[in-house]
A and B are shown apart, each in its own frame.
Chain A
Amino acid sequence: MAKLNEEGQWIILMGFIISITILILALIIAESSLVGKTTSESVLEFPKTDIQDLRSLIFQLKSNNWNDLINPDYRQDIQTLFSERKNAIVFYYNDSRILYIHYNNGITSYNEIHEEK
Chain B
Amino acid sequence: MVNQNAQIYTIEGISASILMIMTAYLIISSSSVVTPQETHINDMQLEQVGHDALVVINTPREKGVQSILYECIKNDPVPHPGSNADFNNYFNQLLNSRTFSENDTLHFKIQLYYRDRISGEIQPPIDFTSDNTAYLRDDAVKVTQWVKMGNDAIDPDLRDKIILVEALIWRS
Q: Are A44 and B44 in contact (CB under 8 A)?
A: yes
> In the complex the two chains form, what is the Cα distance from A81 to B145 in whole Å?
12
A31: min CB distance to chain B, Å: 9
> In the complex the two chains form, what is the Cα distance from A77 to B117 in whole Å?
9
Q: Are B122 and A21 in contact (CB under 8 A)?
A: no
> In the complex the two chains form, what is the Cα distance from A61 to B166 in whole Å?
20
* B148 close to chain A: CB less than 8 A: yes
Dominant SS at the B interface?
mixed
Please provide the chain B residues from 152 to 172 with a CB less than 8 Å away from any CB of chain A in the complex. Answer: 160-164, 166
* A80 close to chain B: CB less than 8 A: yes
Q: Are B120 and A85 in contact (CB under 8 A)?
A: no
Binding-face segment, B30-38, B90-98, B126-134: B30-38
* A35 close to chain B: CB less than 8 A: yes
| Chain A window 1-21, contacts with chain B (Cβ cutoff 8 Å), 1 for yes, 0 for no | 000000000110010011001
Q: Are B43 and A40 in contact (CB under 8 A)?
A: yes
Q: Which residues of B contact A14 (CB under 8 A)?
A: 9, 12-13, 16
Total A-B pairs in contact (CB under 8 Å)? Answer: 95
> In the complex the two chains form, what is the Cα distance from A24 to B145 in whole Å?
48
Cβ-defined partner of B33 (8 Å) among A35, A49, A60, A86:
A35
Please provide the chain B residues from 33 to 66 with a CB less than 8 Å away from any CB of chain A in the complex. Answer: 33-35, 38, 40-41, 43-44, 47, 51
Of the A-B pairs whose beta carbons lie under 8 Å apart in the complex, a sample of 15, sorted by A's number, is: A10-B9, A10-B13, A14-B12, A14-B16, A17-B16, A18-B19, A37-B40, A44-B47, A57-B148, A61-B148, A80-B115, A81-B113, A85-B144, A85-B166, A86-B144
Q: A21-B20, A49-B51 are in contact. List 13 more A-B contacts (CB 8 A).
A: A11-B9, A29-B27, A33-B34, A36-B32, A37-B38, A37-B40, A40-B40, A53-B145, A53-B146, A57-B162, A76-B120, A78-B146, A81-B164
User: Which A residues have a C-beta under 8 Å from some C-beta of B?
Assistant: 10-11, 14, 17-18, 21, 25, 28-29, 32-37, 40-41, 43-44, 49-50, 53-54, 56-57, 60-61, 68, 73-74, 76-78, 80-81, 84-86
